[in-house]
Structure 1
Amino acid sequence: MKAFVAVAVLAFVVCAQALSEEQKNKIKQISTECQQKSGVDQQLIQKARKGEFTNDPKLKAHLLCFAQKAGFMNEKNEIQSEAIKAKITPDVGADEATKVTQKCAAIKSATPEQTAFDVFKCFFDNTTKHISLS
């Protein structure tokens, strides 16, 4: 299963009750792998899960790693809006998922890391339900 959003960041973006144990374990596994790869401080991840996105290069690297491993960005660092939309629709509804995906998936920043950071933050700021996905 490919997990998404927000910090996620992050925390990111869907209702925790809707995730199966398998999905939660996959999210945790991806997050652990990306934390080891990026070297980000666990406190920055936890802050992001609450919507406090610290402008930190290691956090941005973590979010990029997470987005790629979860299938939300491809190897060319392009946002995979349909994959994101499919993951969040059951939790936020089709209308909200379409609206927020159109808005957030259009973000293109100077670097892939900044894009991942900005997209996670956008989803967190623009959805009504949030969970930690990174």
Structure 2
Amino acid sequence: MMVLQVFFIAVVAIQFCSVRSLDDDMQELINNLHNTCVGEIGVDEALITNAQKGEFADDDKLKCYSKCLLDQMAIADENGIVDPDAALAILPSDMQSEAGPAVRKCTTMRGSTPCDTVFIMMKCWYKESPKTYFLP
């Protein structure tokens, strides 16, 4: 679980702190998480790229890719319910206060399936706090 927390922090740093280079180990962790979920779900890479920019396609595979990522980071349960404290705890401290209101608001939302629940939360998070949103 600690490796995933370190990974998550690195992803956030990359996305939001303009880190331009990664060491090989960190890049491998990022690639492994992404590849695991893409391989498991079979989502189209273009849908992921668009979602990283806030363009969320209503696609079941993209929804389940989002859930897979949060499952891998151990912050979502089998029902797709995200623990807001766990999500915030693995963010860098300087992002926690900015992300906190969005994460707390968005983790209360529920969908019709576990994948839908995570997807709704991710879309809400992007809408409420695009600077702190992530999707590797």
User: What 5-or-longer segments of structure 1 have no aligned partner?
Assistant: 5-10
Bigger helix share: 2
Rounded Cα–Cα distance in structure 2 between residues aligned with 1:77 and 1:106: 11
Query: Counterparts of 1:97 and 1:131 in 2: how far apart (Å)?
Result: 8
TM-score, normalised via structure 1 length = 0.77
Aligned residue pairs: how many? Answer: 127
Structure 2 residue aligned with 1:7? none
What displacement does 1:89 show?
4.8
Match of residue 15 from structure 1: 16
Deviations 1:80-106 (A, max 9, x none): 1111112335353x4322211210111
Letter in 1 for 2:99: A
Match of 1:117 among 119, 122, 125: 119
Query: With structure 2 as the length reference, what TM-score do the two structures score?
Result: 0.76
- Aligned-pair identity (%): 27
Larger CA Rg, structure 1 vs 2: 2
With 116-125 and 33-42 compared, the bigger mean Cα shift is at 116-125
- Following TM superposition, the consecutive aligned residue runs of length 4 or more in structure 1 with deviations greater than 6 angstroms are none
Query: What whole-Å deviation, never above 9, does each CA across 1:27-58 have from its counterpart, x for those lacking one?
Result: 33211110011111100000001110000011
Match of 2:41 among 38, 42, 51: 38
Distance change >3 Å, CA 64–CA 128, structure 1 → 2:
closer
